[in-house]
Amino acid sequence: MKILIDIMSGDKAPVEQLVGAVQAAVETPSVSFGFIGNEDIIRAVASARGLDIGSPNIEIFHTAEIVTMEDAPLCVVREKKDSSMGVGLKMLAEGKGDAFVSAGNTGALHAGSTLIVRRIKGIQKSAIATVLPFRNPTLLIDSGANIEISPETYVQLAKMGSVYMNRILKVDNPRIGLLNIGAERTKGTKTVAEAYGLLENAEGINFIGNVEGKELPMGACDVLVCDGFSGNIVLKLTEGCAAFLIGKLKDVFNENPMTKLSALGVKNGLRRMKKDFDASEYGGAPLLGLSKTVIKAHGSSDAAAIRNAVRQAVGCVENNVVYEIAKLVVPEIIPREKEATAGRN
């Protein structure tokens, strides 16, 4: 197995990316790693940080360009083909790696993955799937890739999410919820109402009906299916509420000497709570529906988040997530003998 890592992309690149990647390489010596980026910079950072990049399971692939957060999505297939992101996706498509991890520009990564790595044959849309740290981990799909989707795509997303939660988070028979403004099946837009009917009759998934936003933190479902527009709003609101709540707790405990003293008694509990709210504990967001594993780490990822994203990529490859998605969503393309990857669309 070989995991390709974009060292140059992200708010804290290349330092945090390299530190996290090296930590992952040390943890899993049986896995090979390709560090993609400017070799001179990588070696300089490694030297400054005392990182050992001479391990037999680490290989550096030099690139001259970087995709920035301001670049247009299609830059990765046009003017910045020699970027760390572009080269990584090309290597993945050519079979020179089993998974690719990047904390870079989301639009460029999604566009590049779709055009270079390609979707599984028969999959209508690839989607960004993000684990939300609620009472029970909830997979939000789509969390931003596709603004509008068809009723049929809702069913494909539900099946992809079900496979991921079962194979990676080990949830038996994941409960699939449809994001809506009410519990009644007739609620929502025409598209969502049609999707409800298709999901209700879909084989291979455990559809439980509509789920309202207020029910999400209480663990109403294991997989929440929605279009990317609604999903991104849910994601950003969740992130903002978590930061707000942690901040308010700090304010309460810093009010006076007595409250500061009481904070000592619950310090460990507060640390656990903060960790529970940290979505990076689950790694990055997989782009499901592609013919190979691509993980989008958060743009502000630190070394720990990068390490977790790499662990996630390893888990996806070990658990044959791409194959299992193809088998459930588009079984007609799966040959009798299992293949490493499903066909490309």
Beta bridge partners of 129: 141
Please spell the DSSP secondary structure of 110-152, one letter per residue.
Answer: HHHIIIII-BBTT-S--EEEEEE-SSS-EEEE-SSS-SS--HH
**So what's the pLDDT on residue 230?**
95
Domains 2-122+289-322 and 127-279 share a fold: yes
Pairing state between β 2-6 and 285-288: unpaired
Least Cα distance to 288 among 319, 335, 326 occurs for 326
**CATH no., domain 127-279:** 3.40.718.10
Please tell me the pTM assigned to this model: 0.90
User: Tens digits of per-residue pLDDT, 65-117?
Assistant: 999 999 999 999 999 999 999 999 999 999 999 999 999 999 999 999 999 99
**Can you list the residues of the chain whose pLDDT is less than 50?**
336-340
- Beta bridge partner(s), residue 138: 132
CA–CA gap between residue 87 and residue 84 (Å, rounded)? 5
What are the domain boundaries of the chain?
A: 2-122+289-322, 127-279
Q: Which pLDDT does position 163 carry in this prediction?
A: 97
DSSP 172: S
Instruction: Report the Cα–Cα distance between both ends of the chain, in Å, rounded.
Output: 24
* 2-122+289-322: CATH architecture: 3-Layer(aba) Sandwich (3.40)
d(CA 22, CA 40): 16
